[in-house]
Structure 1
């Protein structure tokens, strides 16, 4: 599908100002959606009232999440405030609200049953995820030097927000961890020593 000259110009505008490609794609998507919803009227001929109407449509008819609605608002705020230099001002707009739902949390017994059917490698990964509160990507990036058995601590580098943190390490996993370390050293003699070979 051929893009309009207007949308192409927005792309060029964003690229010359260093916006990321993902931001560019997201903003152009929502700007195109907005224009189509408003029956192909040019944004210069519209303003805050049409933006609020569109955001209401997303919440009430499309039942989008709050975060999706915020993305659409950010895209349209960029369109008017930055690209068209025609600030929307205070929209007096309330974000969509969805009732909070409690997460489903499995019990320790259920975790045990899951671990019982895994192979040694996956059981150790899952035990670290559950016991130390790691994300999968954090677990798979662990190095031998990140383990401190004397303090029962585990150092996570470049976690969420690119931050380092120290978390707990279950002493019951020490034997399995040391076996994985020995395997990693043997397999990766000439490579950086990643804790779990992948």
Structure 2
């Protein structure tokens, strides 16, 4: 602790001398005291397994590999795994603020072990895990989650989110942040909570927890939704002091670097990497592609917006046409085997699930990049295949970039950035690029144009060289 009470980042593993700091953090985030030993044990098991000299020396791959092993342990219940992931998230993101923790898709890992218990599987529900904490809210089922027991108003929040058909991941995030906000305001009744509390909460996240502006913005969005749709007191954004997160500049990958990277990758992950660079789609847009989204006759790919309001079409690269067709033939063979085994169901968008629930077994709705493992759908309780986990592609890109000796940081966004920059260099106008990338605001697309202009400036000869 510093003199003003703010936690400072630590560069040492959580030893006995730091255990009290970690327990204090658990108290701040609303984790019940009875669960503190389980959280501490999860951290100690993590440190025993990886034995880092310092936590800041950990790599993202090492953390992700450990989480992969954790998610595959059959001796642990789903809730135990989720608590362990939450324990590590608090350790790496808030207590020690290690660089490796910043690149981990914590919400995605929590989804890996989402399951419906046998006594509730017959009742449609959305199980919502609070990323970074222990909480689970399940609406429409007999089992009442701990968070809802502490703050029953969170059930109203979950219902409001589901009514607007937001994604499960958004629901997770909103439940998590509002749970923390209510714990922060635990000395007040529902009617007493006001905008000033939001300001104090955001200041606490910045000064005491040391969270980045982007994370603070996520917290604000969740609490603002809570105020507007649950408390019926819309926030006056101008009166809430919050910092706007700074945009990261686009990654500059040269064409030769992209070529070396893609030539080294193969299989499903290699095809996904080719699609990211070949079309400019976002990581999750690629991961969530369904068979019906590929139109070989018209040579186009349909990218579906979750709410169906901003769908767009992208040209299917000619060089990927046959490769993608062969890939779908392999997926089709797996689908037929699953169909014969009665496990060929996939999750559906809310509108489709309500009107045509039988579509969950149709070929058109299957994922283009299905997971190798079967899982249980939290909404229907049916066993089937979801899509590949996004972190699998991110890990493959990082390791391949290292093998190809590419010094630039490579991830899915870097391939999307490369697509945008190289398309502009080929003469594409900015408005067309905006449509291809799916940007609502042209200013977002202009970042790539400015980057191209900056590259042109670097080609100007200095007058001193001609003296």
Give the TM-score category using the shorter length: 0.5 to 0.7
In structure 2, C-alpha distance between the alignment counterparts of 1:88 and 1:74, rounded to whole Å: 12
In structure 1, C-alpha distance between the alignment counterparts of 2:254 and 2:217, rounded to whole Å: 35
In structure 1, C-alpha distance between the alignment counterparts of 2:329 and 2:218, rounded to whole Å: 49
Structure 2 residue 293 is the aligned partner of structure 1 residue 153: no
Q: Summarize the alignment of residues 113-132 of structure 1 with structure 2, pairs less than 5 Å apart.
A: 113-132=260-279
In structure 2, the CA distance between the partners of 1:93 and 1:169, relative to structure 1 (3 Å rule), is same
In structure 2, the CA distance between the partners of 1:180 and 1:34, relative to structure 1 (3 Å rule), is same
CA displacement at 1:145 relative to structure 2 = 6.7
- Out of 248, 255, 277, the position equivalent to 1:108 is 255
CA displacement at 1:117 relative to structure 2 = 1.5
TM-score (norm 1): 0.64
Q: How many residues align?
A: 187
Q: Summarize the alignment of residues 166-185 of structure 1 with structure 2, pairs less than 5 Å apart.
A: 166-185=313-332
Runs of 4+ with >6 A deviation: 7-10, 85-91
CA displacement at 1:148 relative to structure 2 = 2.8
What is residue 143 of structure 1 aligned with on the other side? Answer: 291
In structure 2, the CA distance between the partners of 1:189 and 1:145, relative to structure 1 (3 Å rule), is farther
In structure 2, C-alpha distance between the alignment counterparts of 1:128 and 1:29, rounded to whole Å: 39
Structure 2 residue 158 is the aligned partner of structure 1 residue 11: no
CA displacement at 1:110 relative to structure 2 = 1.7
Gaps of 5+ in 1: 36-40
- Out of 43, 54, 68, the position equivalent to 2:216 is 68
What is residue 38 of structure 1 aligned with on the other side? Answer: none
In structure 1, C-alpha distance between the alignment counterparts of 2:229 and 2:325, rounded to whole Å: 57
- Out of 45, 56, 64, the position equivalent to 2:203 is 56
CA displacement at 1:131 relative to structure 2 = 0.8
In structure 2, C-alpha distance between the alignment counterparts of 1:55 and 1:98, rounded to whole Å: 13
- Out of 183, 203, 227, the position equivalent to 1:32 is 183
What is residue 312 of structure 2 aligned with on the other side? Answer: 165
In structure 1, C-alpha distance between the alignment counterparts of 2:228 and 2:286, rounded to whole Å: 43
When structure 1 is superposed on structure 2, of 21-30 and 110-119 the one drifting more is 21-30
Gaps of 5+ in 2: 1-31, 35-146, 162-170, 340-362, 372-467
In structure 1, C-alpha distance between the alignment counterparts of 2:153 and 2:270, rounded to whole Å: 50
Post-superposition Cα deviations, 1:139-178, rounded to whole Å, max 9, x if no partner, equal: 35331672234x431223x345445331111111223223
TM-score (norm 2): 0.32
When structure 1 is superposed on structure 2, of 93-102 and 107-116 the one drifting more is 93-102
In structure 2, C-alpha distance between the alignment counterparts of 1:81 and 1:164, rounded to whole Å: 27
In structure 1, C-alpha distance between the alignment counterparts of 2:299 and 2:285, rounded to whole Å: 18
What is residue 25 of structure 2 aligned with on the other side? Answer: none
CA displacement at 1:187 relative to structure 2 = 4.4
Q: Give the aligned CA root-mean-square deviation in angstroms.
A: 4.2
In structure 2, the CA distance between the partners of 1:29 and 1:111, relative to structure 1 (3 Å rule), is same
When structure 1 is superposed on structure 2, of 180-189 and 70-79 the one drifting more is 70-79
CA displacement at 1:65 relative to structure 2 = 1.7
